[in-house]
Amino acid sequence: MISVTLQPFSAGQELAALLGDRAAAVLAALPPAVCTGALISLPHGSPAPGADGVHARLTSDTLPWPAAPLDVVVVADALWSLEPLALLNQAFDRLADGARLVVLGEFSVRRTRLEYEPLPLVSHFVAQAERAGFKLVEPQALSPAGEAERARFLLVFERSAAPRWRLHTLRPEDAPAMRRLFEAAFGHPMSQALWEWKYGDGRGHAVWCAADGDMVGHLGLMRRTAIWQGEQIAISQYGDAMIRADQRGEMHGPYFLMVSTLTELQIGRGSGCVMGFAFVFERQMRKIEYLKLGRRIDHMVQYEWPSQQRRAFASWATRPLVLPTDAACLDRLWTAMQADLRNVLVGMRDAAYWRQRYVDHPAIRYELHLVYHRWTRRPLAALALKFEQERAVLVDWVAPLRATPAIIEAGRDLAQRSGKATLHTWITAGQSAALQVASPTVHDLDVLIHYATWTPTPDADAMHGRWWLTMGDTDYL
């Protein structure tokens, strides 16, 4: 358990006594007239960054901040344990114009490994501080980085003009404002249950953008487990990107601020989520590429077949798939699918994920079906479908690639039995050869895959055309 202390002081001598052997470096960076301030630090004996699985971030808003305005806020060897946006906003609000924020401690200077790194990347923290209204006036490396991935720094910032937009980490109490912005942006409401399904229990993270205290922008991330080169990795999917109409139009406005900041906090080597992606339109993709926030690595293709009753001599049949009763069956199909997709990245599709994604969805009703061999009863595939006015939608499936003909035939039969004219689905163009069965009608879609490159991530060229994504990988279909 991490605990952070905030100790007010009213003279430089008091600060020196609190800092001990760290005082000389800090006091040398401060004007001699410093009178009032606050020191944020960790108690003696606190765990080292990342020790014993301690990866938490405290919001610092429950700390006993002294009355503003302050001459200085000093953060000594505690930054890694604090939620940075909350700290920066609170320090900005309490410091006088021209007053200083001093951050002393160890930082990450480069990230080459995928493993979680609790120390913030120094370049990211500086960028976040500048977006929050601070100007870096005196960076000082206290230990040479060389080829090491960590180094000790003294960073001195000066409070400057208030930024036009301020960034905040979304918390549960912000959900009502987020849902109001969602309805204004998309024209239909988001229930509290849907918000919980996306962001509750640590499944998602988000930042929001404020102008004059009002929420004018929002960007979310939903975490997924994926399989890449035979290993489980964490990835994140951007979603619920929205900006109030009167705040749009500036290239480095709310959208850039939210994407860059949320990516720095959550995505990349050492961040807990190795990669980030989104489904975007061409217009959005051009902006993303111009701002160097990401690269396009593929696009979605729509496949469509007319509905068709099952042939009398077909070797397969279907029945409802029930979770958790059929969980072991679905997990075996997932294991077989992974073996066929070992050279591409594919999101987890085990029984636990399917239950959360399709059974527990609070807004959309899906039908789950098992395709099995009529005589041996051996499971062949699992299908997730939904039914719209005139068509059946094959949202997702779990099966080895050899079962694709049976998947499409079963989907067409289920569409026919439901009175729908067609069956359609989406898949990434790089993997679309898997669906070239039964003479489909194929359309390229204006739905591109944005791969995050703002932070250190595996090379985008190595990812190009190597993601298996279907409609079920979206958060809105």
Tokens (6 digits) for 200 = 């509750």
Residue type, 170: L
Helix 122-131, helix 254-266: angle, nearest 10: 150
Tokens (6 digits) for 402 = 């050899």
pLDDT, residue 67, reads: 85
Element (H, E) at 352: helix 351-354
pLDDT, residue 55, reads: 45
Low-confidence residues of the chain, pLDDT below 50?
Answer: 1, 51-55
Local structure of 223: helix, strand or coil: strand
Phi-psi category of residue 268: left, alpha or beta, with phi > 0 → left and psi -120 to 50 → alpha: left
Local structure of 443: helix, strand or coil: strand
Give the separation between CA 377 and CA 45, rounded to whole angstroms: 61
The residue among 202, 209, 240, 250 whose CA lies nearest residue 85 is 209
Torsion angle of alpha carbons 201, 327, 474, 344, nearest 10°?
110
Give the separation between CA 454 and CA 367, rounded to whole angstroms: 38
Check: CB of residue 169 under 8 Å from CB of residue 209.
no
Tokens (6 digits) for 343 = 């050279």
Q: How far is CA 360 from the centre of its chain?
A: 21
What sign has the CA pseudo-torsion 117, 154, 59, 159? Answer: negative
- Give per-residue pLDDT as tens, 250-262: 999 999 999 999 9
